[in-house]
Structure 1
Amino acid sequence: LGPEFRYSTGVYTAGEIDREGVLHGDLVLKGSGDPLLDEPALQGIIEDLKARGLKRVAGAIVGDTGDFDRSPYGWGWSWDYLSASYAAPAGALNFNKNVISIVVEPAAEPGSPARVTLKPSSGHMRLRSSVMTGERGSSRSVSRERDAGATTVTVTGSVPAGGDAAIDAVVAVLDPAQFTVDCFRDMLISSGIPVDGRARKGSAPAGARMLARHVSKPLREIVTDLNKWSDNLIAECLLRTLGSVRKGSGSVSAGRDVVMEFLEKQAGIEPGAVSMADGSGLSRLNLVTCDSFIRLLDYMYRHRHGTDFMESLPVAGVDGTLRNRMKDTPAEGKVRAKTGYIGGVSSLSGYVTTAAGQPLAFSLIFNNQVGTVAPCREAQDEICAYLAGLTEKL
């Protein structure tokens, strides 16, 4: 794709806007997989539509997902975490990281139901709440669960009287495209553009023309967001984008084919050394050797875009997922590496510059850990500190 690649989210119509500003036809929001589309981005599109004279939509709001398939999850993902923010579904249309915040405000008196709302508020998610207001000074404890394969979220718990409204939890949406067009329709109405029709999924008709669009920041910055903070949604969207751009199919399987071809033909990694089931590493069907990571790191160190790649990685003791690790050790500021974690597994792979000025690639993977992986991270940090402290070149 290249570091300057940008996502484009466009608004299309085959209808006409009359003298009163009424669009006689549907307004189609077509996505290309942008994982960072947010409220300011959609508001910018709405302002552009207003500048074109749009004052009312007589048709529907339609979400067009193009060649992206309808499988929003990776292979082998577990049903019990699909409502968690780190497992948000991915697609051609994504909004607000495909999560909804649960805002809880206590009632004035203990024993009364608390006020629970969803943000952004849309018809995409139904709310079932039994959160109560507890005594002043009591603990604040709120939990949520989305019904499996459904759009109903159940919120339970208690919040102390006299407290403020706060975001107590987030929940992943079920259908990112429907969620996006639901929110887009609501934002149009809130911005003074009534919409007669409902929000639904579909395709832009032949001959539809573009009215407005949002262009994302460049891929080098998106990849930095991904690697610095281990953003699963970005990784899943990028995998599907690779499939869409290179194979004509925005699917996990097409994206996987692109990645595996790159690993084998360019990075020189044996196909049998990597088993890839998703873009984020959340699936337990993902398998990889430390040697494969070392080969990839060595290849990227010499790649023409190697600097962009290395600068996207967290720096020990400085930023991202390593900001609180290896502080006050020889590794602080000398290690650039990507963390990896699922239950019982902890990994760290990247680069370290030794005291002798020698750059080294390393990969440390701990599997099948019982209980906390904290000892694994401590061992990783100690190894990195040792390597960073080497005063002679290897």
Structure 2
Amino acid sequence: MPLASFSASSRCITARLSSGALAVALVVVSATLGYAPAADARGGGGPKAESQAPKHAAHGAVKSKHAERQERVAVPSGPLPATVMAALARAHVPLSSMSVVVQRIGAPVPLVAINATQPMLPASTMKLVTTYAGLSLLGPDYRWKTTAYADGEVDTQGVLHGNLYIQGTGDPKLVPEELIDLVDQIRRNGITGIDGALVLDKRYFDPSTRDLPAFDNDDSAPYNVGPDPLLYAFKSLSFTLTPNPDGQVSIDVLPQLAQLQIDNELRVTRGACAGSLPAASPSVAQTTGGFVQASFIGDYPLRCGSRTINVAALDHSTFFAGGFLALWKQTGGTFNGATREGATPSGARLVGTHRSPVLADIVRDINKFSNNVMARNLFLTIGAATAKPPATTAKSAQAIQSFLRRSALPMPGLALDNGSGLSRDETISALSLADLLQAANSSPVAQVFTESLPIAGVDGTMRNRLTNAGALGNAHIKTGTLRDVRAIAGYVGSENGETYVVVSFINDPRAEAARAAHDALLEWVYEGARKVGVAE
């Protein structure tokens, strides 16, 4: 069905495109609130991962070994330290709402195992399952392809008298500075104008994976953006508002969309800057002729300074088409047709192939910034790459479960929904996730996997935590937050030279107030877990 009819030469908002910062900025806007990613800062320190390959046991032996371990962790372990118990008490969270596993790397049983086999909501720590499976099954050097095909003749002026087809395979980081590569390749193949349709081939993912209800009914929240074979710039617009002394408010937007218009009715005032500043939140709607209008109206206090607002807008196909045609126009290309979805004809000729950054870099963005839509695209890619496309969530879940069984990691409490943790239907036990972290640490992808995790007090979602503690720079920890859920999982290098796996979930209506309990747990492990516990 037609998606839009607009010309790349039609009036559109002019915006600054900072290629150096855009990719990081758009990764950041893909999640907010409890799922918020953070600015990336390269950091070091923390535990060192081993690199030897894991030893795989026969399936029957795995089940026996797992059953034996379940029995061993059922024996009461040492109590949690007083600092953790005090933090739980202050938050009014009972110990029954918390599950914990602390285990030295290579040790046969945990040092601490409390409610360890209970399936829990893991929030974004579920991304560890998806990213470890992705690295292991696809390889750290895996790249997605976005390809362009043409099915008509090109005249002497470079005009394609036919359709241009863009075929996607789910590249999680197809931002403007990546997509411009495909635009340049098309032009190098002699095409400077399109006298036909722009056709989007999105068959790599099954239609059942698209247009799903938002997690919390907030369709405009970037963290709620769903997966898509032609995911572009995380389907989010980033508006930067800057008040000027002359009474005007300038508005810049990233990325540019060919059909985007901005209605700016903001007025600079001299009052105090207080509250949520409703004037900074635009209303985004499609208008006649296929255009999209972002409307800003109201008073904007000069004292508020510059602010950036991130909005998930439009459907994936309209967003991609607008982004592609904006770049096409910037390079001098012309287009006066319509855009639609459809299959690439078998006889169409290849005119461009863009390859994504390697999976190792993608996984770093997913885990450092807790990027939901990137994780969901990776999750579906696993299903498509290990079976036949189109990808479905069932294929992906089956592929990951099969990989875990082959890796001596049976997980009876594991339930996979979308692979990102942004779900009330995804569960895993602390013991199962600790087992995965142990296996990952002795796998061929150990270094890439460990380095993808946020570092305490340094970067990612841990950059503002434990900044004045001994664990600063010594803990690689994936965090997770949903309403009623707090989670941590990763590795802590202790001051005595040992490295520990730490996993803890809090599922409780007061979980938000219990973050201090997790910080206290990490600091205790850093100090060597020496005051309480059981002998290993």
TM-score normalised over the length of structure 2: 0.65
Deviation by residue 1:292-320 (Cα, 9 ceiling, x = unmatched)? 11111111112121221111111112221
Q: Counterpart of 1:355?
A: 495
SS in 1 for 2:281: strand
Q: 2:473, 2:416 → 1: CA distance?
A: 31
CA contact 1:267–1:295 (8 Å) conserved in 2? no
State how far apart, in whole Å, the 1-side matches of 2:319 and 2:486 are.
Answer: 33
In the TM superposition, what is the alpha-carbon distance from 1:132 to its structure 2 partner?
Answer: 4.1
Once the two structures are superposed, the pairs formed by residues 361-376 of structure 1 within 5 Å of their partners are 361-370=501-510, 373=512, 375-376=513-514
Aligned partner letter, 2:163: D
Matches within 5 A, 1:97-112: 97-104=234-241
For 1:289, the equivalent position in structure 2 comes to 429
Q: Which amino acid aligns with 1:51?
A: R
Where do residues 118-157 of structure 1 align in structure 2 (5 Å cutoff)?
119-122=254-257, 132-139=266-273, 141=277, 142-144=280-282, 157=298
1:174 deviation in Å?
Answer: 3.7
TM-aligned CA deviation for residue 127 of structure 1: 7.1
Q: 1:264 to 1:125 in 2, by over 3 A?
A: farther
Q: Give the unaligned 5+ runs of structure 2.
A: 1-137, 286-291
Which residue of structure 2 lines up, in the alignment, with residue 35 of structure 1? 172
Retained in 1: the 8 A contact 2:269–2:299? no
| 1:339 aligned residue | 479
Shift of 1:270: 2.8
Q: Tell me the equivalent position of 2:415.
A: 275
Across the aligned residues of Structure 1 and Structure 2, the Cα RMSD in angstroms comes to: 2.9
Q: CA deviation at 1:212?
A: 1.2
Distance 1:297 1:231 in 2: 20
1:67-82 to 2 correspondence within 5 Å? Answer: 67-72=204-209, 77-82=214-219
> Which residue of structure 2 aligns with residue 58 of structure 1?
195
Deviation at 1:218, TM superposition (A): 0.8
Q: Is the 8 A contact 1:76 1:277 kept in 2?
A: no
Cα distance in 1 between the residues matched to 2:312 and 2:447: 34
Whether the aligned pair in 1 keeps the contact of 2:414 and 2:427 (CA below 8 Å) is yes
Q: Per the alignment, in what secondary structure is the counterpart of residue 62 of structure 1?
A: strand
Could you tell me whether the CA contact under 8 Å between 1:178 and 1:201 is conserved in 2?
A: no
Once structures 1 and 2 are overlaid, which stretch shifts more, 224-233 or 132-141?
Answer: 132-141
Pick from 294, 302, 323 the counterpart of residue 463 of structure 2: 323
Corresponding position: 1:304 with 2:444:
yes
Residue of structure 2 equivalent to 1:385: 523
Task: Indicate the percent of aligned positions where both proteins have the same amino acid.
Answer: 29
1:204 aligned counterpart, secondary structure: coil
SS of alignment partner, residue 287 of structure 1: coil
Matched, 1:46 2:174: no
| 3-state SS of paired residue (1:81) | coil
Asked if structure 2 preserves the Cα contact closer than 8 Å seen for 1:106 and 1:161, the reply is yes
Give per-residue Cα distances to partners, 1:94-129, cap 9 Å, x unaligned: 11121012354669887x9x7767544436678788
CA distance in 1, matches of 2:451, 2:329: 42
Cα 1:76–1:348, aligned 2, differ >3 Å: closer, same or farther?
Answer: farther
Residue type of the partner of 2:257?
A: S
In structure 1, C-alpha distance between the alignment counterparts of 2:414 and 2:211, rounded to whole Å:
16
CA distance in 2 between counterparts of 1:124 and 1:365 reads 45
Residues 326, 332 of structure 1: 8 Å contact kept: yes
Name the CA distance, whole Å, in 1 between partners of 2:522 and 2:334. 58
The 8 Å contact of residues 88 and 97 in structure 1, kept in 2 or not, is answered as yes
Is the Cα contact below 8 Å between 2:228 and 2:316 reproduced in 1? yes
Structure 1 residues 29-64: Cα deviation after superposition (integer angstroms, max 9, x where no partner): 111111111112222222222222222111111111
Task: Tell me, yes or no, if the aligned pair for 2:193 and 2:334 is still in contact at 8 Å.
Answer: yes
| Partner Cα distance (2:182, 2:213) in 1 | 37
Structure 1 residues 369 and 162: alpha-carbon distance in aligned structure 2, compared to 1, 3 A threshold: closer
- Aligned residues between the structures: 385
Deviation at 1:144, TM superposition (A): 4.6
Deviation string 1:139-165 (CA, Å, 9 cap, x unpaired) is 271235668xxx88775653136987x
The aligned amino acid for 1:143 is S
- Contact preservation (8 Å) 1:88, 1:173: no
Structure 2 residue identity aligned to 1:50: R
Q: 1:146 to 1:69 in 2, by over 3 A?
A: farther
Segment drifting more, 137-146 vs 43-52: 137-146
TM-score (norm 1): 0.87
Letter in 1 for 2:182: I
Q: How has the CA–CA distance of structure 1 residues 83 and 8 changed in structure 2, closer, same or farther, with 3 Å as cutoff?
A: same
Pick one of 309, 321, 336 that aligns with 1:169: 309
User: Which structure has the larger Rg?
Assistant: 2
Give CA deviations for 1:308-342 in whole Å, capped at 9, x if unaligned: 11111111122211122112322122211110111
Aligned equivalent of 1:211: 351
1:222 maps to a residue whose letter is I
CA contact (8 A) 1:314 1:323 kept: yes
1:263 to 398, 404, 418: 404
Q: 1:297 is paired with a residue of what secondary structure?
A: helix
- 1:347 deviates by 0.3
Superimposed CA distance per residue, residues 336-357 of structure 1 (whole angstroms, 9 cap, x where no aligned partner): 1110111121100011122222
